[in-house]
Each structure stands twice: as structure tokens, then as C-alpha cells.
Amino acid sequence: MEIKKGLYYTEEHEWVRVSGNTAYIGITDYAQDAMGDIVYVELPEVGDTLKAGDVFSVIESVKAASDIYLPVSGTVLKVNTELEDSPEMINEDPYGSWIIAVDMLDDTELDQLMDAAAYKEYLSEEN
Amino acid sequence: MKIYGRGGFEMADLKRTPLYDAHTRLGAKMVDFAGWEMPIQYEGIIAEHEAVRTYAGIFDVSHMGEVEFTGPDAESCLQNLVTNDVSSIKDNQMLYTFMCYPDGGVVDDIIVYRLKQDRFMAVINASNIDKDIQWMREQAAPYNVVIKDRSGELSLIAVQGPKAEEILNELVDADLKDIGFFRFIDGVKCSSKTCMISRSGYTGEDGFEICLRNEDALFVWEKLLEAGTEKGLKPCGLGARDTLRFEANLPLYGNELSEHITPLEAGYGMFVKLDKGDFIGRDALKRQKEEGLTRRIVGFEMTENGVPRHGYDVLSDDEVIGFVTTGYNSPTLKKNIGLAMVDIGHSALGTEIGIQIRKKVLKAKVIKRNFYTKSYKK
């Protein structure tokens, strides 16, 4: 299971890539593998302001629907509209396929998240 | 991420089939299915689904139950238990049928095999084994018949898809061309192991089901994979089994059928023979047919983007008028389609309905249920 260095991770298997005050958010390799073939990604609206812990997307695989939680509070700057036509990109390249980008309200929330080493440890405990 | 819409992963005390080690070696994801630790997928549901539609797939369905009826009253006992006409099959023929409660609700959907005039076998759903056998024994009391649960000693392997016959013929000492749809041969050798092979399945494709002793299952499974891999055969999990059966309009107990749904409401009246003589549930089903249905299962297609799932509400003008029995993004048709139980007034082809998908009600319309045309060999 791939875990990429330099990203922040949640216990719910989302990742965060920080660039300035912008947080790009996606789901981990573990998450895409657990879901299986992804067929649909429900995206929020640009401009929505959401709190950490809110459900910002629902990913539908063939077998089930999964809620995706926002790791950090913020306003939605961009949504990855490529996922509308090619949701399987998340299976193929989970760390390259961000779902949304948010303008962070409070970047100290990042301190609550795990780094790659801690997430690796967390995964090994989970299984 | 939180995955919902399916069961948990508590693996304690789960039963395993004789093929468990083969599944884990093949990298299967194992899940709890009706108390069994079963493969839901190996490579992925879509790849496995497409393999069955294009080439072939091999499934472990050993969790299913097998019950033998032996004795002079075997046929009359079954005839009382089930809705279809058991007297219509001869030796080496099979019959799909429902076993109903007196109120017409379904105990289980089962397949009856006639081995001899006084010997039958029923294949039943894994989730219903204990309930079915208790029901069968209670109803069989007045009959001269011995009911034996053979679920614990027999395994079942399905090989499904257009290449199934070619693959299986390499290993079997009989010509499978001679077996028609819903017929079987017993005592045939497959890779030197004694099996019962039927032309049947749960995918909408041509294919076979191989019933054999537990101790022979792993050997035959591996021989089949060996012989079939170069012809496109893939191991397939319960995930693809469900998408395949759904596209072919084959019902799943717990979804389209249950103790609260009659076969007529589910749309499978062709397997209910009201004129065959008395059977359990006949009066209720006859009355329901005469009075007319108040609800029935329809096919539908989403006209707004969203994936319908089992259990979602169906609405019309903010009023709940039914529920989704099964729904998927269909791997073959690449459309969001489903089956739903709806009030009869909303069941005509073309009717606009709404599906409650999380916080939104998304539009759908009633369409024909034969999403995928079955390619059975006659």
C-alpha cells in the first residue's frame, strides 16, 4: 500500500497536500483499494465553506457509497471536474487525483493530522 | 472515508469453504457473507464482470446449501413445498422455484434437481440454510421422505461465460454439448474427481455449476484455473456475481425476494403454477392474482446522475411510494439502473419517479427489467 511522504493524513484515509494556504485533498491508496472500482464522485460547489470533519464528497464504487471527510476547515477554491468523466483516476493514481482544493481557515488544524510515518503506523495497527 | 451500504468486517467465527486458502493466495478481499468468509473480489468487480460477459469466470459458491429428499413421497413432498411444478421435470432436469409461506411470502428461492423418481436435491441460499431445513422438515412430517442436509460435505464451483463449455470440456469425461440448459449429469469425472455438473448459473451467461465433495474442490478449482486462464478465465467474487445477476434480472433473496414479498409482486409469476394442485401459499397467491397486485418490482434508469442502492426510498411528489431492491452503476451498460418495489400506480413503463440518494431526490424513469439479454444455450 503506497503512502506518499510530504502529505498529511487523517484516520479516515484522506490526504492533504499543502501549497501556500491552499490544501489539496484526496483519498489514500488504502481508501481506493478498500472501495474498489470507483464509478462516481459527488463534488461540492466552489465557494462552499466547510468545517473540518464535514462530509465534502461522496465516492461511489461499484459495491458501495463512501463519505469523504474534510481534514481542514476552509472555503472550496476548486473542484477536480476531470473526476466527473473519469472517476477511475482515483483508483489509478490516488495521490495524483486531488478531489478539491480549499483555502484554509486555520492552518494550525494541520497539526492534528498524521505525517506519512504516523499514517503507516496507524494502518499497520488497523489491520 | 467511511464506507457504508454493506456489512462489517467482523471475521470472528465465520465459516470458510474448502477453497479459502486458494482465495487468499489469489489476493481476494474477503468479507462476511451470511456468516461465511467469502471473496468479494480478486482483481476488481468490473474486470471480473467483463471477464464473465466476454470470456469466462470461476466462482466459489460452496457456501450454498444442498438438501437431499429421498423416499417414495419425495416428489409429492416437494410438490407441496414449492410453487413450480416438480412433476414437470424428468431425471437429470432442474427446476427453479420458490418455497413460500402460507401468506405467499417467500421462505427461499431454490433449485430442485431430479436425480431419480424417488430422489431429489435442492440447492438453497447460504443465508437461509437453517431456516429452510427446519421449514422443510416441519412440512415433510406427513410424507414418507428422508430429508438430509448435505451442505457440510458438498462444494459448488460455478464456471460462467461464453468460454465456459470449452474450458470445462478439456477436463470432463463427457461431452458437455449434450447437456441442455437446466439439465445435469451426475457421476461424471472432472480431472478424475466425481462431480455432478449442471448447465446453469446466476450470471445471464451460458455456464456450468459443478457440485462435488469438499475434499475434491481445491484440486478441481486449480485444474479449472490452469485450463482456463489462457482462454480469459478469471476468478470472480461475490461482487461481480451480484452485478451480473442483477443485469440479467435474476432475483436475490433479501433484495427482490423476502418473507414480505410474494413471487407475483417480485414479477416471477412464471415460476408459480397455481393449476398444479395444492401447495403451501397457493390460496394467498391465487387471491393476490385474482384481486390484482397493489405493488410490483419495476426496472428504472436514473435520468439525473446518482447511483441507486438497495434500500433507498422511491418517491413521487414528496411521497414515499416504494424502495430500491437493487441498484448499480451497471458495468455492462455503464448506466445507473435499478430494480424497485413501487405502488402499482407508479409502475407503468415511462413513469417518472424520484430516488432519495442521501439528501437529494434524483429523477429516474421506469424501464423494462431485461437490462441485459441473457445468452443461455437452449
ipTM of the complex: 0.86
Residue B46 with chain A: CB contacts under 8 Å: 37, 62
Instruction: Check CB contact of B4 with chain A, cutoff 8 Å.
Output: yes
Report the pLDDT value the prediction gives residue B271, as an integer from 0 to 100. Answer: 98
Q: Give the start-to-end residue ranges of the domains of chain B.
A: 20-61+153-247, 65-149, 294-367
Question: Which CATH entry fits the domain spanning B294-367: 1.10.10.10, 3.40.50.300, 2.40.30.110, 2.60.40.10?
Answer: 2.40.30.110
Instruction: Check CB contact of B46 with chain A, cutoff 8 Å.
Output: yes
Is residue B244's pLDDT more than 80? yes
Angle formed at CA A90 by CA A87 and CA A95, multiple of 5 degrees:
150
Quick: pLDDT tens for B182-225: 999 999 999 999 999 999 999 999 999 999 999 999 999 999 99
Quick: pLDDT tens for B322-356: 999 999 999 999 999 999 999 999 999 999 999 99
Which CATH superfamily includes the segment(s) B65-149? Answer: Aminomethyltransferase beta-barrel domains (3.30.70.1400)
Residue B245 with chain A: CB contacts under 8 Å: none
Is residue B12's pLDDT more than 90? no
Q: Give the start-to-end residue ranges of the domains of chain A.
A: 8-110
Neighbouring-strand partners of residue B185? B197
Look up the CATH number of domain A8-110. Answer: 2.40.50.100
C-alpha closest to that of B224 among B56, B54, B109: B56
Angstrom CA distances, B52 to A36, A63, B247, stand at 18, 17, 12
Is residue A11's pLDDT more than 90? yes
Write the single-letter amino acid at B54.
T
Q: CATH topology for B20-61+153-247?
A: Gyrase A; domain 2 (3.30.1360)
Distance from CA of A21 to the nearest CA of B (A): 23
Is residue B65's pLDDT more than 60? yes
Is residue B8's pLDDT more than 50? no
Mean pLDDT on B92-104: 98
Angstrom CA distances, B261 to B98, B128, B325, B342, stand at 12, 16, 11, 12
Residue B6 with chain A: CB contacts under 8 Å: 63-64
Quick: pLDDT tens for A53-86: 999 999 999 989 999 999 999 999 999 999 999 9
Neighbouring-strand partners of residue A19? A22
Report the pLDDT value the prediction gives residue B2, as an integer from 0 to 100. Answer: 72
Q: What is the DSSP track for B140-187?
A: HTTSS-EEEE-TTTEEEEEEESTTHHHHHHTTBSS-GGGPPTTBEEEE
Mean pLDDT on B112-116: 98
pTM for the model: 0.94
Report the pLDDT value the prediction gives residue B36, as an integer from 0 to 100. Answer: 95
Report the pLDDT value the prediction gives residue B4, as an integer from 0 to 100. Answer: 56
